[in-house]
Amino acid sequence: MTKVAIVGAGISRFGRRTDANMNALAWESVSAALEDAGIEQKDIDFYSVGNVGVWSEENLPAVTVGEYAGLTPKGTMRVEAACATGSAAIKVARDSIASGSAKLAMAVGLEKMYGVPTPTIVELIGRAGNYFWEFENFGLTFPGYYALYASAYMAKYEAKEEDLALVAVKNHYYGSLNPFAQFQKQVSIDEVMTSKYVAHPLKLLDSSPITDGSAAVILADEETARRLTDTPVWIKGQGVASGSANLSKRSDFVSLDASVTAAKAAYSQAGIKNPVEDIDVATVHDCFTIAELMAYEDLGFVGRGKAVQLIRDEQTYKGGKIPVNLDGGLKAKGHPIGATGVGMAVEAVKQLRREAPKSRQADIRHGVALTHNVGGTGHYAYVTLYGLN
């Protein structure tokens, strides 16, 4: 397969962005990515726009973003894979280069969620599983989905609510160091534990927020990448998998099979034998704190039931065995659904280039970063390995 690298990356500030419409918000990251790559709009052969957008002001965001950003009339498409939409947009852009139809492609992730009332957002996200069986019959929303996993995990492995809270404490600490993050304030374990329950045992501070934001990456074939930059970040592997729409068909509620399958595929492509020894830094899908703990195990960072010890021992902090979510994660950086996976890629690029702020820059020894992006509760899973060679 043709080698594909990221040669430019940009991200907007995440949060309540009532100061910009969708197109202007996308331009913040698109313009930054173009500047980072040292190219102009005319150089892009194809661009994908990841956007869930059932609540959006624009129904055709790829078209409006492209026109606003000066990318028209280049080929485009909108991509959707629930909360893994951003990673799906990267896959589409990568495939366009690997197929030989493009030399330079852009993946843009974008979401504006604050334009409608919060209850509407909660309902629309809740429809993302098996609508007629789970939402209509049982009224499940996404906090409810992940509460099922949290309850099962805690019962099987004797984890405590305090262990979940430790994830929030870590990610808010790193969010406080990230000027692009939605929440730039540390929280204590007591603050997490006394926050209101959303769906027992998950509390408000166990949950990622509603977010507006955008991110963009520019991908290139090998010849173009080496011409444009001395520090290309190669896509070494990308595993993709899916899970059952209906949760009652899942084998258990302590793991996401799609994450396991996607990780195995990505590791095989990238030649990763031992994730903890071979990967310098990871950004995982922590839409709820339980999701990060399950990711530690699904990605092979630690054995089954051992994730709580990893967070208790602070081994997923900078300087630990496997630093995780040094940008604050979805929990503190924010979760603008269509932009989340692309934002993860931007973080991977910055970490590998050693361009993250010193306070949250991982020790890059092997030149490998991982991103793990889940849609729904394992309805989609994308695991991507980025590397310096």
Which member of 83, 172, 285, 287 is catalytic? Answer: 83
Q: Does residue 200 carry a catalytic annotation?
A: no
State both tokens at 239: 């595993």
The whole-angstrom separation of Cα 278 and Cα 366 is: 6
182 and 343 in contact (C-beta within 8 Å)?
no
The full DSSP string for 36-61 is HHT--GGG--EEEEE---TT-S-S-H
Residue 221 pairs in a beta bridge with 4
Q: Does residue 83 carry a catalytic annotation?
A: yes
Taking CB atoms within 8 Å and a gap of at least 24, the contacts of 315-321 are 316/170, 317/170, 318/360, 318/361, 318/362, 318/363, 319/363, 321/276
**Buried-state track 230-241, b at ≥16 Cβ within 10 A, e below 16:** eebbbbbbbbbb
The whole-angstrom separation of Cα 159 and Cα 144 is: 18
State both tokens at 26: 């996308």
208 and 323 in contact (C-beta within 8 Å)?
no
| Strand residues in 14-115 grouped as ranges (E) | 46-50, 75-79, 104-111
Which member of 285, 335, 372, 379 is catalytic? Answer: 335
3-class DSSP state for residue 220?
strand
Q: Is the peptide bond before 275 cis (omega within 30 degrees of 0)?
A: no
Closest among 246, 339, 304, 250 to 14, alpha carbons compared: 339
* Phi, psi for 215 (deg, rounded to 5): -150, 155
Q: Among all residues, which ones are annotated catalytic?
A: 83, 335
